[in-house]
Structure 1
Amino acid sequence: MAINGDPAGFWSYTHRDDEIEDGRIKRLAKKIANEFEGITAEELDVFLDKKDIKWGDEWRKRIDNALTGSTFFMPIVTPRFFKSEECRREILTFAGHAKSLGLEELLLPILYFDVPQLKDPSPDDEVMTLVAQRQYEDWTKLRLEDEDSPEYRKAVNRLAARLVEILERTAEVEPPPVALTDDIDPEDEPGMLELMADAEAALPSWANSMEQFGATVREMGERVKLANEEMSASDARGGGFAGRLRITQSLAEDLKKPVDKLGQLGYQYSADLLAIDPGILGIIRLVETEGVPGGNEAQVVEFFNTIRTTAGQIRGMVSSVREFSGSLDGAASLSRSMRPLVKKMRASLQKVVDGQAVLDEWERRIDEVSRMTEGS
């Protein structure tokens, strides 16, 4: 059975999960690769160690070459996976490229440890929602089987066979039209300049959302600072724990509205960004593959600069968000009235941090394409 391209699988997992499994996660990857080769007589390159320069080089090459239609991304889903910023970045990056090419099946999560939230994911976590929407492989019971048992070997065979089926289906997939909205008319597909104009019109609204997000974070930071000053004054007066509790409960009440606003802004910012991500990547790919329409070099340069400028502005704001997130470490322990607020704040802050992965990928692809066009 011939496979188009050189099939490869990138495994995204936390090293700690593999350690507590005594290396079973890495061994599973190699067993699936061996089974795949047995079925197809084609080697499946498996990339496991993200610290290896070969992993990063091959990852970028595959994405930059439209995933070659034969590149799997297989996140090993555990509770720790969703806490790993690196893992979250990788799955969002791959998902955007795969969607822009109509190759979403190439994202194949493996549920390794049970994550109950996947059954009813909160919209506050787009990574968990993304995994829940995929037809993931459930390995939660199989991981308890002996690796040489018939049950385990049959499951490895089923998964390898599924990879083969996916590659056969995606071999002839044509990339969907580049679109920044869902109401595109296939008979009147917009040209590159129209697409770039639509993208430029959308970018300022993200910047505005982020500015409001940053302002809300600063407002909450000021209220927390004031509460800390009041606690110090209360301690000096001998107010004790009762004084601290009163101030903390008052702070929790003061933060309710800004926390709700933060959640709305974070959700809108993230939803808009992920919705338009495949379109932006498609535009960049059009410039790369078809070149710049004659006489429009200045408009393309301006478009790329707009994205770079917006990404740079938001990156600076993300630094402030990270700093504020760190300041919340002790807040939840002050009083039970603060715990739900801190949980909501962390979810909103994570959306902005996740979004930076999307913008970073735009910048990286733009730099690659710009170097290519400048050298031609």
Structure 2
Amino acid sequence: MTASSGAAGFWSYTHRDDESEEGRIRRLATRIANEFEAITAEELHVFLDKEDIKWGDEWRNRIDSALTGSTFFMPIITPRFFKSEECRREVLTFSGHAASLGLDELLLPIMYIDVPGIHKDTVPDEVMALISRRQYEDWTQLRLEDENSPQYRQAVHRLAGRLVEILERAAEVEPPPVTLTEEPDPEEEPGMLELMAEAEAALPRWGETMTEFSETIQVIGDATTEAVAEMERSDSRGAGFAGRLRATHQLAERIKEPVERMEDLGVQYSTELVKIDPGVLGIIRQVETEGAETAESEQAKEFFKTVRELAQNGRRNMESFQEFSDSLQGVSGLSKSMRPLIGKMRGAVQQVMDGQAVIDEWERRIDEVSG
């Protein structure tokens, strides 16, 4: 049996967390796989090392061939996890594909270390919100148990048993109808043309959001430049740290409103993209299934062209957004009045980068289908 034909689990974690745990995270994956095999007499192929080419190849094979029904994605949730761009991108990618197939349950998070804010009713971070909505496994206390203790071994057995149950249910699931609307008309299922038209209408709005996001960053950057100049003038007058502190407080007051707007735009951008992601992936899969020679082939080409343009434009912005986010690190120590604002700005940039990861996945699948 090859890895692609059997059940598989992709283990997503930060290497620093595993190092801090002295390898316990990787050992947990192995224990679960062994227990799964003991229960089913079938192997659970576990992919652990993202630096191994097999991890990436198998990840793409599983998603592209719609074999998600036999593929688990198990993120090991810690505070560090949400700071990893790679881990965040994996959650978004798998979540969209699983939802497009009606298989959300195959995204099975393990809450390894409690994350502040994840249990709130409203979670502004879209990746964190995706995790909080799942029926995750709580390992926050079990991670403190001896690995050979009865409690730990029983928990491994329960988790392996849950994987078996999920696979059994997944085998009976039919992919949901492709839809981009939250409340589709139950009497009239939209066709591909309607779906593409709806998505295409949304794409310019995201482009406009990016334009406003860039303009807001420029406003904040200009205000920061003026504040630095004021600090230099203050130093020349011999005002010392008191003068610098006054200029910093003035800067914090000036950028408060644009920072709030920047935060709103970031949340809006990633939330809307994640919401429509399963529908767009469904459209791409539908085109792939029906082939290029369909009545909608020309419209599909136009839709794909629009998505590619959005992806390319977004990537042009990403470098400057990342530079802006990195520059905030040096400002964070100026004054406590700046710290909450800096946190919001960095969070907003991360949300936009998350959204770009969703669009990049659309483009990747479109390239494969078109090629």
TM-score range, shorter chain: over 0.9
Which consecutive residues of structure 2, in runs of 5 or more, have no partner in the other structure? none
* Cα distance in 2, alignment partners of residues 291 and 186 from structure 1: 27
TM-score under structure 2 normalisation? Answer: 0.96
AA matched with 2:132: A
Q: What residue number does 1:268 align with?
A: 268
**Structure 2 counterpart SS, 1:10:** strand
How far the C-alpha of 1:121 sits from its partner, in A, is 6.4
1:134, distance to aligned residue in structure 2 (A): 0.8
In the alignment, residue 213 of structure 1 is paired with which amino acid? F
After superposition, the Cα gap between the structure-2 partners of 1:258 and 1:116, relative to the gap in structure 1 and judged at 3 Å, is: closer
Which whole-Å CA distance do the structure 2 matches of 1:335 and 1:210 have between them?
A: 29
Quick one: structure 1 residues 121 and 81, their matched pair in 2 at CA, closer, same or farther if it must change by over 3 Å? farther
| Contact 1:262–1:345, Cα closer than 8 Å, also in 2 | yes
- Deviation track 1:159-215 (CA, whole Å, cap 9, x = no partner) reads 000000111111110111111111213442122122111111110000001100110
Unaligned runs of 5+ in 1: 372-376
Residue identity in the other structure for 1:69:
G
CA distance in 1, matches of 2:329, 2:26: 34
Provide the residue aligned with 1:150 in structure 2: 150
What does residue range 224-373 of structure 1 map to in structure 2 within 5 Å? 224-292=224-292, 294-371=294-371
Shift of 1:68: 3.9
1:263 partner letter? E
2:49 and 2:55 in contact (8 A); partners too: yes
Aligned to 1:374: none
Match of residue 87 from structure 2? 87
Deviations 1:82-107 (A, max 9, x none): 11111011011101111111100000
CA distance in 2, matches of 1:123, 1:265: 15
Runs of 4+ in 1 over 4 A off after TM superposition: none
Identity of aligned residues (%): 66
Does 1:55 pair with 2:55? yes
Please report how far the alpha carbon of residue 295 of structure 1 lies from its aligned counterpart in structure 2 after TM superposition: 4.8
Deviation at 1:318, TM superposition (A): 1.9
Between stretches 123-132 and 87-96, larger displacement belongs to 123-132
Counterpart residue type for residue 215 of structure 1: E
Letter in 2 for 1:341: L
Q: How many residue pairs were aligned?
A: 368
Secondary structure, counterpart of 2:332 in structure 1? helix
- Residue 299 of structure 1, CA deviation: 2.1
TM-score w.r.t. structure 1 length?
Answer: 0.95
CA distance in 2, matches of 1:298, 1:196: 11
CA contact (8 A) 2:192 2:296 kept: no
What residue in structure 1 maps to residue 39 of structure 2? 39
Tell me if structure 1 keeps the 8 A contact 2:33–2:46.
yes
Secondary structure of the residue that 1:75 maps to in structure 2? strand
Higher mean C-alpha deviation, range 331-340 or range 85-94: 331-340
Corresponding position of 1:199:
199
Please provide the CA RMSD for this pair. Answer: 1.5
The residue type equivalent to 2:364 in the other structure is R
Q: CA deviation at 1:245?
A: 1.0
